[in-house]
């Protein structure tokens, strides 16, 4: 299972060779080879990203947009080239629809502030769901609690961990929802939501739609035009790029209608003692010195996954999901959470009689890195009666079937150990 042939292509996805691109994967933990199964939290970085950022710092770093000298012009060109790379990666109509932020959380907060407070009207609702990461829930609760007259509704999640589309339709029916904000792929269950269908339902009810693509953009080809997203966010560090940079895609007309999120340098048209005018999007949403080196790293990460082919990556990860679904349920005492028909490589589970933190520590002693806790999704864990949390294994493009097999062996041993 280490070599996958992507459907419709002649290219092979050679995991053994690809793993050589990631220096950290050759390290050891507690004297054991590293088995990294926490890519859903933050993915490892290929050498191409590391080298691109180092090269920028060593040869062409300066502040952007301001300097009339060669280094600044080179840095500005690199920064804006990253914007074009993101535009093409997402299928956006123009680079001006791409706003750089520091991560997905800030991107969602930007929409909550500038669209939620600046465009939504009293009496309207934001509609999110039980499956969301806190980043796509807390900002909307904060907006609701400001007594602006903007309400909040939640779409239910069924026992398979899928959005209840009948419930979605019912909560859109009165035409009072102004914005639907839902995940494109769950960071706990791996559930992939039917984005295009959700967008059609939202638009038919007069609502705009935001997708949290923090997980989906890593594992699936995303075309914001094809799914007709009004807003789409993702973060660089999960896409094999650096921390400190995220992306907000917004349709140009919506961005133009939104007031700024933060005030300061580089987001202005002009400033006097009496008043300030603002730059057009995306500059109006990028106050202060932006993440210059991080943008270069994100560009390199996008080039890296694009060269491998998102179709090939998806095929590889589908094979891993199929393998995991075949072997994990065989473990005595292990319960997988959720069972969506369309899912990515994220598996949350519980093991009878073993606390998630104890299990994670046990696995770490064998070189296996997994997540333990509620994964910034407390309401979802409460929905499944798992307030104590779960253990989560999440895959990346460098994950192998052999690593999944090792996980199953150590989970079996862990149950005996703790018994």
The residues spanned by each domain of the chain are: 3-45+309-418, 50-306
Is the pLDDT assigned to residue 11 strictly greater than 60? Answer: no
Based on the number of CB atoms within 10 Å of its own CB, is 210 exposed (0-12), middle (13-18) or buried (19 or more)? buried
Q: What is residue 337's predicted lDDT score, i.e. its pLDDT?
A: 94
Is the pLDDT assigned to residue 241 strictly greater than 90? Answer: yes
Q: What is residue 210's predicted lDDT score, i.e. its pLDDT?
A: 99
When mean pLDDT is compared across 83-92, 292-301, 337-346, 399-408, the lowest value belongs to 337-346
Beta carbons within 8 Å of 49's beta carbon, 6+ residues apart: 240, 241, 242, 297, 300, 301, 304
Is the pLDDT assigned to residue 3 strictly greater than 70? Answer: no
Indicate the helix (H) or strand (E) that contains 72: helix 70-90
| CA distances to 81, 100, 102 from 291, in Å | 13, 8, 7
Q: What is residue 9's predicted lDDT score, i.e. its pLDDT?
A: 40
pLDDT band at 354 (very low <50, low <70, confident <90, very high): very high
| CA distances to 55, 138, 144, 151, 201 from 147, in Å | 49, 15, 6, 9, 28
* 3-state DSSP percent of the chain in helix, strand and coil, to 5: 45, 20, 40
Mean pLDDT for the stretch of residues 3-16: 59
**Rounded Cα–Cα distance for residues 340 and 181 (Å):** 20
**Rounded Cα–Cα distance for residues 123 and 12 (Å):** 53
Q: Does 50-306 match 3-45+309-418 at the fold level?
A: no
The CATH fold assigned to 3-45+309-418 is 3.90.1150
The pair of structure tokens assigned to 159 is 């026992």
The runs of H, that is alpha helices, within 205-291 are 216-219, 224-227, 252-257
Q: Which of 229, 235, 234 is nearest to 196 (CA)?
A: 229
Cis peptide before 172 (omega within 30 of 0): no
Q: What is residue 24's predicted lDDT score, i.e. its pLDDT?
A: 98
Is the pLDDT assigned to residue 229 strictly greater than 90? Answer: yes
Q: Which of 8, 14, 89 is nearest to 316 (CA)?
A: 14
Q: Which of 331, 338, 375, 377 is nearest to 354 (CA)?
A: 331
CATH number of the domain at 50-306, please? 3.40.640.10
208-212 and 177-183 beta bridge pairing:
parallel
Is the pLDDT assigned to residue 6 strictly greater than 90? Answer: no
**Rounded Cα–Cα distance for residues 293 and 222 (Å):** 24
How many Å separate Cα 239 from the centre of its chain? 8
Rg of the chain over Cα atoms, rounded to whole angstroms, equals: 22
Mean pLDDT for the stretch of residues 264-275: 94
Cβ atoms 348, 189 nearer than 8 A: yes
Cβ atoms 376, 133 nearer than 8 A: yes
Mean pLDDT for the stretch of residues 294-299: 98
Q: Which of 75, 199, 83, 181 is nearest to 134 (CA)?
A: 181
**Helices 356-364 and 401-418 meet at what angle, rounded to 10?**
120
Tens digit of pLDDT for each residue in 33-56? Answer: 999 999 999 999 999 999 999 999
Query: Nearest 10 degrees: CA dihedral of 311, 247, 372, 382?
Result: -100
Tens digit of pLDDT for each residue in 311-334? Answer: 999 999 999 999 999 999 999 999
Mean pLDDT for the stretch of residues 146-157: 97
Tell me how far apart the terminal alpha carbons of the chain are, to the nearest angstrom.
33
**Rounded Cα–Cα distance for residues 204 and 156 (Å):** 20
The whole-model pTM stands at 0.96
**Rounded Cα–Cα distance for residues 116 and 129 (Å):** 17
- What value does the mean pLDDT of the chain take? 95
Cβ atoms 137, 128 nearer than 8 A: yes
Is the pLDDT assigned to residue 5 strictly greater than 70? Answer: no
pLDDT band at 19 (very low <50, low <70, confident <90, very high): very high
| CA distances to 57, 60, 163, 321, 386 from 389, in Å | 41, 46, 21, 22, 5
The pair of structure tokens assigned to 409 is 């062996």
Q: What is residue 2's predicted lDDT score, i.e. its pLDDT?
A: 47
Which residues are known catalytic residues?
Answer: 376
Q: What is residue 355's predicted lDDT score, i.e. its pLDDT?
A: 96
């Amino acid at each position: 299972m280490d070599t996958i042939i992507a459907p419709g292509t002649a290219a092979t996805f050679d995991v053994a060779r690809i793993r050589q691109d990631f220096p950290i994967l050759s390290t050891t933990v507690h004297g054991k080879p590293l088995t990294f199964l926490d890519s859903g939290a933050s993915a490892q970085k290929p050498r191409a990203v590391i080298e691109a950022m180092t090269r920028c710092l060593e040869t062409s770093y300066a502040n952007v947009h301001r300097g009339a000298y060669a280094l600044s012009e080179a840095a500005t060109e690199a920064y804006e080239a990253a914007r074009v790379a993101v535009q093409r990666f997402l299928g956006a109509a123009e680079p001006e629809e791409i706003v750089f932020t520091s991560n997905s959380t800030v991107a969602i907060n930007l929409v909550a502030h500038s669209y939620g407070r600046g465009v939504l009207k009293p009496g309207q609702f934001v509609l999110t769901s039980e499956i969301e990461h806190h980043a796509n829930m807390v900002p909307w609760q904060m907006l609701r609690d400001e007594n602006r007259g903007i309400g909040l509704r939640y779409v239910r999640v069924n026992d398979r961990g899928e959005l209840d589309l009948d419930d979605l339709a019912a909560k859109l029916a009165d035409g009072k929802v102004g914005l639907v904000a839902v995940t494109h792929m769950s960071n706990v269950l791996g559930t992939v939501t039917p984005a295009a269908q959700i967008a059609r339902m939202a638009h038919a009810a007069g609502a705009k739609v935001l997708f949290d693509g923090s997980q989906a953009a890593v594992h699936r080809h995303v075309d914001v035009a094809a799914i007709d997203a009004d807003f789409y966010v993702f973060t660089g560090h999960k896409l094999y790029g650096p921390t400190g940079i995220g992306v907000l895609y917004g349709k140009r007309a919506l961005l133009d209608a939104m007031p700024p999120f933060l005030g300061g340098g580089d987001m202005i048209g002009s400033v006097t003692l009496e008043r300030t005018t603002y730059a057009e999007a995306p500059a109006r949403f990028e106050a202060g010195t932006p993440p210059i080196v991080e943008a270069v790293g994100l560009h390199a990460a996008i080039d890296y996954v694009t060269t491998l082919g998102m179709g090939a990556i998806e095929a590889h990860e589908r094979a891993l999901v199929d393998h995991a679904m075949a072997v994990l349920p065989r473990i005595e005492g292990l319960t997988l959470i959720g069972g969506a028909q369309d899912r990515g490589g994220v598996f949350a589970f519980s093991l009878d009689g073993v606390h998630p933190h104890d299990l994670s520590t046990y696995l770490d002693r064998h070189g296996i890195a997994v997540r333990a806790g509620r994964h910034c999704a407390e309401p979802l864990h409460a929905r499944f009666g798992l307030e104590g949390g779960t253990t989560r294994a999440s895959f990346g493009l460098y994950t192998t079937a052999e690593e999944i097999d090792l996980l199953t062996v150590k989970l079996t041993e862990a149950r005996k150990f703790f018994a």
